[in-house]
Chains A and B, each alone.
Chain A
């Protein structure tokens, strides 16, 4: 029998142990415990999700009917810029980091991140970056050149209020936080795994976050460089992107998309990881093709750096460059497809439990496939020439971000909710939320494919009354309202059941990974006192099978109905 072993800990004394839990707000501000920081990331993400969602609803109201006057054009442009920037940098990223810093140490049997203070630093940088971005509303106007902020429209002579300066500073600051947290995650995974857990047998969520962190460390410097050059232009009158003074419009596009396209994978890979856990536990089966699912993430991360210019097929690069980026972009479809079919393989032959979490996972399979195939349309560069920068691309990216990332995050949220809060949600409320959200989402965005094909460009504050424009946009707006309602339901569920749901016990799903092995839910400040030597990506399951779980499985059975 495997002897129990001590849990690896940071060299310095265990941080956070001195903090009293009765200190209220101070406890949160001073927190270095990875679980508290994880929760703060998630709350921040939810907060910005509500703001970004409200902006989206205002946008949709303006577009509900042709020639609408609900929002003036400059306000509309600020709103869609802020909507995109918020959703990517201050909703998706914090949500991913929140789940990562909360669950990576738990899933590898560690008691902390490698650098707890750096962890807190990363969070506060992200939060302050977001606050700085929103401060622009008070400082003369929000950024108004789109989330990818093309040159030379981002220059002072075209956008003269301070919005884009706040945009640049905010993203630089939160970017530094993201880099710090990614370094922290990699070092944690490298040094704090419970003995016996090999790198090639990590739980898939940990593996994907690990691979993803390398991707992030390679991608963010490009954004930071672009933002630094832009700030030099705007503050010190340099001429990098000022085309009137010899600068280049395309340099910005290259630098931005060398970051921007990997960023798309940065926000989807951890969601893939969560889904990989959810599919296993709720199908009561090990993942189908572990090695293929794991390796395909590496393939995506590597290919991510050869595809940026597929955002630039229409800038006149020439067909040699077009063909190269077209081929690389198509190649990404293969590892992504491998994942979809391996997940289908995972549910095949299982005993599927349709919890709210699993419902989102199944919906993800279909919605993400829609986003995936339309993605291939943009890799085929002649088709891209027709459809890029239209509502077709709006539909595509929302199917990837909402149907993919957000569905994955919600599956992860409902899966881990009992561990984070110690309470179960009412599954009926969860299903209400699922159906409202999913129906609303598909109504909003499916029709936008057609709008793109009949010639509606993206980012227009209004449109003439051409055949079908009004009807389809109205359907889209109606769907968005449904999504808005579902957002309120989500906030209600978290609020209501996080405080007074039924106690969940330590392991309500009879799960497979070590985060469910803690003595309580939520886990105590010191996650584990001791654990049996663990192996493999279903370490906790193996312990339960061999009776090494210290009776935890028994207590769990008492709670489950």
Chain B
């Protein structure tokens, strides 16, 4: 089957977004090496709960895949059910990120307080923004599915959602995992 215009379009969006996140991640690493992050601040990161939310977000990729399979097999009920699960998982991830932010701000780690604060909130914040955008689009797809839309946009949006999840794996690795192994 000929790939649709929409699929080509979303692949190009991912291509350009990948460069955007590459720049943000490189900036984070650059700041870590150039300015140096305070160990006190790094130690406030909660890798365990962040790990749990990471699993949640990755799981949402699988559930979205099930939704897409439901759609292509002509089972609207499966599409709707798995879409709802995906949206809930995405929302749980955002809530997790929100609690992490709340806790860090409580520890006085803020955007204007230190180089680490600025780097952390910028990188995770831009990722969170992409999750929010993805959730809005998934909600629209869901509403359209309930209204009986037969030409679902789910095939177009799915690669974007998977991309956002994969980006999180890189962000998680750079922000949470690597500092555990280095002395910066």
Contact = CB atoms under 8 A, between A and B. Distances in A.
Is there direct touching of A and B in the complex, by C-beta distance under 8 Å? yes
Interface string A242-280: 000111101100110010000000000000000000000
Contacts of A245: 115
B112 interface: yes
Contact of B12 (A186, A191, A229): A186
Contacts of B27: 225, 229, 240, 251, 255
Interface residues on B, range: 20 to 34
B12 A187 contact: yes
Interface in B12-67: 12-13, 15-17, 19-20, 22-24, 27, 30-31, 34-36
Most buried by A among B8, B9, B13: B9
B111 interface: yes
Given A191-B5, A217-B16, A255 B23 contact: yes
Given A191-B5, A251-B31, A255-B27, A183 B13 contact: yes
Interface of A: 10-11, 114-115, 179, 182-183, 186-187, 190-191, 214, 217-222, 224-226, 228-229, 232-233, 236-240, 245-248, 250-251, 254-255, 258
A33 to B, nearest CB: 18
Interface string B64-95: 00000000000000000000000000000000
A236 B5 contact: no
A246 B31 CA distance: 9
A232 B31 CA distance: 15
A245 B111 CA distance: 13
Contacts of B146: none
A180 to B, nearest CB: 9
A11 B2 CA distance: 13
Nearest to A223: B23
Given A232-B118, A238-B118, A221 B30 contact: no
Interface in B128-157: none
A248 B31 contact: yes
B170 interface: no
B12 A183 contact: yes
B128 to A, nearest CB: 14
B114 interface: yes
Nearest to A243: B35
A257 to B, nearest CB: 12
5 tightest Cβ-Cβ pairs between the two chains A and B? A237-B112, A238-B118, A221-B20, A225-B23, A221-B19
12 contacts: A186-B8, A214-B15, A217-B16, A224-B20, A229-B122, A240-B118, A246-B36, A246-B115, A250-B34, A251-B34, A255-B23, A258-B23
Nearest to A179: B16
A149 B70 CA distance: 51
B35 to A, nearest CB: 4
B35 A248 contact: yes
B16 A218 contact: yes
Given A221-B20, A240-B122, 11 more contacts: A10-B5, A221-B16, A225-B20, A225-B27, A238-B111, A240-B118, A240-B119, A246-B114, A248-B31, A248-B34, A251-B27
A188 to B, nearest CB: 9
A237 B112 CA distance: 5
Contacts of B112: 236-239
A237 B34 CA distance: 19
A52 B37 CA distance: 43
Contacts of A187: 5, 8-9, 12
B102 to A, nearest CB: 17
B169 to A, nearest CB: 19
Given A179-B16, A187-B9, A246 B35 contact: yes
A482 to B, nearest CB: 41
Contacts of B31: 240, 247-248, 251
A115 B5 CA distance: 9
Given A217-B16, A217-B19, A247-B35, A239 B8 contact: no
A222 B17 CA distance: 10
A14 to B, nearest CB: 15
B5 A239 contact: no
Interface string B101-127: 000000000011011011100100010
Contacts of B36: 246
Given A239-B115, A246-B35, A248-B34, A221 B17 contact: yes
Given A115-B5, A236-B112, A218 B30 contact: no
B159 to A, nearest CB: 14
Contacts of B122: 228-229, 232, 238, 240
Nearest to A222: B23
A197 to B, nearest CB: 16
Given A217-B12, A232-B122, A248-B34, A239 B17 contact: no
Contacts of B5: 10-11, 114-115, 187, 191
Contacts of A220: 16
B9 A115 contact: yes
Contacts of A258: 23
A105 to B, nearest CB: 13
Given A247-B35, A247-B115, A251-B31, A221 B23 contact: yes
Contacts of B22: 221
Contacts of A248: 30-31, 34-35
A218 B19 contact: yes
Contacts of A224: 20
Most buried by B among A179, A236, A239: A239
A263 to B, nearest CB: 14
B88 to A, nearest CB: 30
Contacts of A240: 27, 31, 115, 118-119, 122
Contacts of A182: 12
Given A217-B16, A218-B15, A229-B27, A239 B114 contact: yes
Contact of A251 (B16, B30, B117): B30
A218 B22 CA distance: 10
Contacts of A186: 8, 12
A226 B22 CA distance: 12
A229 B27 CA distance: 9
A232 B111 contact: yes
B16 A225 contact: no
A251 B27 CA distance: 7
A247 B13 CA distance: 31
Most buried by B among A222, A225, A247: A225
Contacts of A228: 122, 126
Nearest to A220: B16
Nearest to B117: A238
A472 to B, nearest CB: 41
